[in-house]
Amino acid sequence: MTTTFDWLLEPKLRDRLLSLAEQQGRSPNTIVAEALQQYLQQQTDSAETNLTLEQRQAILKLPIAERRRMLEAQAEQMATHYETHTEWQDW
């Protein structure tokens, strides 16, 4: 399903978006869609990782092997993130 939005951007923001699209050889719509998708994913990820104090304490009570397994899984997720999202390399 595709939904269409009409955005009213401030002229300065619109000009920056158009300039970026031209530099990258992509459409402004593609850039906005990808940025929105990343933002929503980050919001979802941060909502899932906000642990209560009790949850954090429960993790500390786990056996060291289980905590290491959890850290390894998180490290793999971050490695994948940095390998696929290369914007951080641009600055």
Taking the C-alpha atoms of residue 75 and residue 4, their distance in angstroms, rounded to an integer, is: 37
What pLDDT was estimated at residue 47? 63
- Is the model's pTM score more than 0.85? no
The pLDDT, as a whole number, for residue 1 is: 73
Q: Is residue 87 pLDDT above 80, yes or no?
A: no
Task: Report whether pLDDT(25) > 90.
Answer: yes
Q: What pLDDT, in 10s, does the model give residues 39-75?
A: 888 777 766 677 888 988 999 999 999 999 999 988 9
- Average of per-residue pLDDT across 63-88: 86
pLDDT range class, residue 91, cuts 50, 70, 90: low
